Amino acid sequence: MRRMAWAAAAAAVAAIAIGGVRIVRAEGSDDEHGRFKQCSVATLRGDYGVQVQGTRPAPGGLTESVIGVVLRSYNGDGSFTQVDNVKGSITGTVPDRPGFGTYEVNPDCTGIVRFQPGPGIFIEERLVIVDDGREIRTAVMVPAGVMVSGVHLRVHTR
């Protein structure tokens, strides 16, 4: 069994050494002249439907599963508003909870979101913008005990 594990590890190292490492940019697209498109806070403008899932601390030292949907409206200048419906497997839900926050976007299409969804609750997410801003992927970094990720899709208006 150990020989198989060592063989698998050696094969992985050899594959990386022979094939090299492929670096993929977050945005994933170039402009018409082949230059990498840079992002800014203006890249995020408009409404996004968000699906979140993960785990978080619950009363009594427990950990609960959490799922939810959010409508988040980015204004293109570094702030947003939202309405969320997040359900914990132990704590239940608070329907249609409003919130607001701020965001920063780096030229490489990564960024930070900060908001306070309730009294005494501070959340910091890291984000990656993909597909020219049509989609955003997030992961909660603060508080440490929260392990929630989200997928944001731009809401198309008719």
Q: Where are the domains of the chain?
A: 41-154
Token look-up 């497997």 returns 89
**Radius of gyration for the alpha carbons in the chain, expressed in angstroms and rounded:** 19
Q: Nearest Cα to 36, choosing from 28, 24, 47?
A: 28
Bond preceding residue 143 cis, omega within 30 of 0? yes
Domain 41-154 is classified in which CATH homologous superfamily?
Answer: Quinohemoprotein amine dehydrogenase alpha subunit, domain 2 (2.40.128.120)
39 is written with which tokens? 């992002």
The rounded mean pLDDT for the chain is: 84
Sign for the pseudo-dihedral over CA of 48, 110, 140, 147: positive
Instruction: Say what the pTM is.
Output: 0.76
pLDDT digits (tens, 9 = 90+) for 117-139: 878 889 999 999 999 999 999 99
The answer on pLDDT for 15 being more than 90 is no
